[in-house]
Amino acid sequence: MNLSPGKDAPTWPQEFAERYRAAGWWRGETFGGMLRERAAEHPDRVAIVDPGGNGAPARRWTYGELDRRADRLAAGLLARGIGKGDKVVVQLPNIAEFFETVFALFRIGALPVFALPAHRETEIRYFCEFTEAAAYVIPQQVGGFDYRGLAAKLVDEIPTLRHVFVAEGDAGPFEALPDVATEVAPEHLPAAPAPSDLAFLQLSGGSTGVPKLIPRTHDDYIYSLRGSNELCAVDEDSVYLVALPAAHNFPLSSPGSLGALYAGARVVLCPQPGPEAAFPLIESEGVTITGLVPPLALLWTEAAPATAYDLSSLDVLLVGGAKFSEEAARRVKPALGCTLQQVFGMAEGLVNYTRLDDDPETIVTTQGRPISPDDEIRVVDDEDNDLPPGETGHLLTRGPYTIRGYWRAPEHNARSFTADGFYRTGDVVRLTATGHLVVEGRAKDQINRGGEKVAAEEVENHILAHPSVHDANVVAEPDAYLGERTCAYVILRADAEPMRPAAIRKFVRERGLAAYKVPDRVEFVEVFPQTGVGKISKKALRETALRETASTPSSA
């Protein structure tokens, strides 16, 4: 099967690919090869630390062991008919098997589709159907949710889905991941995928009815790791704590677990992102660097001064995924004793970091500047005209690790990319004189719920499926802790029985949507405000929400 992104999505034109190779950004590396090299260089160095818990044993895997495990699992997957180009939905919590699984898939050229543990039937069914996934990898349960029950339903109904592997806990009717692995001589594994091949499909935060899939190649993603490692000072002595869900682009690659593995460093998995789980691991493993979304960074800075744990090993705290307020940013260093590094990134590519040696004001007031000298940044008005430096406008970007199109989405691509390949980020930014970006707002119809992205249209569609609902609009409203939360304005049908807001939330939840997408607040209204030309004004709805939240307590 052809794995080049060109078949299912637009890829970089040849002249750009040549330039990125000539500049040394794309070096012809693959994930499978990278692990093999690190294992050869230092087989006995610890790669993955999984503290276990909830009945699961603690594990410390060396580079040698991770490499062997990836080979054995790769062989077992091949024996089950999973191979090059096959899609495998991976929905695992922060456990060691996440890495065993994805490196096994990388090695045989099968593509992980990175689902989050919070996703439910609606999202997972869509990923499996849309990608024609051959397999689905799950834990037995996390937070009381029975993933095997969901898997049983999906294998029954989706013809391409032939395998379910249970990575942790009781496999029930399915195959346990450890039973899949088989002994193999590495030379019997198939040829490695090409560096320009797709490595995996990442999920977009989305602003449309269904999430879009982001096709990333080995070469482009590995460049973003190398670039991130350099800017975040990650080397083989670093210890990276995965506090956020491992499959998300931020903890995966900015510089994240994959950056740390690229550097030959140690990756420590944290089962929960709060201080209770993280602080003991920082002390016991000597964690040097980690990444958090703003609400968690706030929790950590509040908890740190009173903790009995020694956090002095922590050098760098990356904060991103949503805007980190200046006031909160100022508290990081005094509370945690480490350098704050703001990161403004996106799974589509572009990642900006404040530099470790930026002056303290730049660190707390900007969201950083791009990784690469070849990241092209444009700030434009509504008609795509470039704005004078320093003015606020839409951020467009193109570069050596930013996709040229989503996977199998030609119509959406025509809107999300300019004709000459710039990605329309949907972010509203301003460039400072030093080339740092300040995120001023957002033009896309999305709610950024403390770093978790909610596409308004997706939630609206689910609410509209309720038989009593005539129309629905979902907008962001301020939240002291999350930054933003979701508010759904709903018009009921004229003949509908009166109902309570909670009934709408329950309805959406029961449709099998990730909990973070269930509206935080539902308001019934008679009409929606309109713009001059008679379109529904989300701007006016957001202003209404703002007034209403000013008079109601936040969820904090």
List residues near ligand OOB by CB under 6 A.
Answer: 205, 249-250, 254, 320-323, 342-347, 351, 367, 425, 427, 439, 442, 448, 453
Residues 6+ apart with CB under 8 A from 76: 180, 181, 182
Distances (CA, A) of 507 to 502, 503, 510: 8, 6, 5
Distance in Å, CB of 150 to ligand OOB, minimum: 23
Strand, coil or helix: 202 = strand
32 or 399: whose CB is closer to ligand OOB? 399
**Rounded distance between C-alpha atoms, residue 324 and residue 494, angstroms:** 43
290 or 367: whose CB is closer to ligand OOB? 367
Distances (CA, A) of 245 to 35, 117, 271, 451: 22, 8, 9, 12
Distances (CA, A) of 145 to 46, 118, 124, 335, 497: 31, 9, 14, 35, 32
Question: Angle, to 10 degrees, between the axis of helix 294-303 and the axis of helix 326-336?
Answer: 40
453 or 466: whose CB is closer to ligand OOB? 453
Distance in Å, CB of 329 to ligand OOB, minimum: 10
259 or 264: whose CB is closer to ligand OOB? 259
Distance in Å, CB of 431 to ligand OOB, minimum: 14
Strand, coil or helix: 133 = coil
Distance in Å, CB of 296 to ligand OOB, minimum: 13
36: region left, alpha or beta (phi > 0 left; psi from -120 to 50 alpha): alpha
Distance in Å, CB of 247 to ligand OOB, minimum: 11
Distance in Å, CB of 200 to ligand OOB, minimum: 14
Is the omega angle on the peptide bond into residue 255 within 30 degrees of 0, that is, cis? Answer: yes
C-beta of residue 517 within 8 angstroms of C-beta of residue 459: yes
351 or 545: whose CB is closer to ligand OOB? 351
Distance in Å, CB of 395 to ligand OOB, minimum: 8
- In this structure, is the dihedral angle defined by the CA atoms of residues 198, 202, 205 and 210, taken in order, positive or negative? positive
C-beta of residue 516 within 8 angstroms of C-beta of residue 449: yes
Distance in Å, CB of 73 to ligand OOB, minimum: 27
**Rounded distance between C-alpha atoms, residue 369 and residue 431, angstroms:** 9
63 or 423: whose CB is closer to ligand OOB? 423
116 or 150: whose CB is closer to ligand OOB? 116
140 or 249: whose CB is closer to ligand OOB? 249
C-beta of residue 316 within 8 angstroms of C-beta of residue 260: no
Residue nearest to ligand OOB (CB): 345
Distance in Å, CB of 445 to ligand OOB, minimum: 12
322 or 504: whose CB is closer to ligand OOB? 322
C-beta of residue 480 within 8 angstroms of C-beta of residue 441: no
Strand, coil or helix: 171 = coil
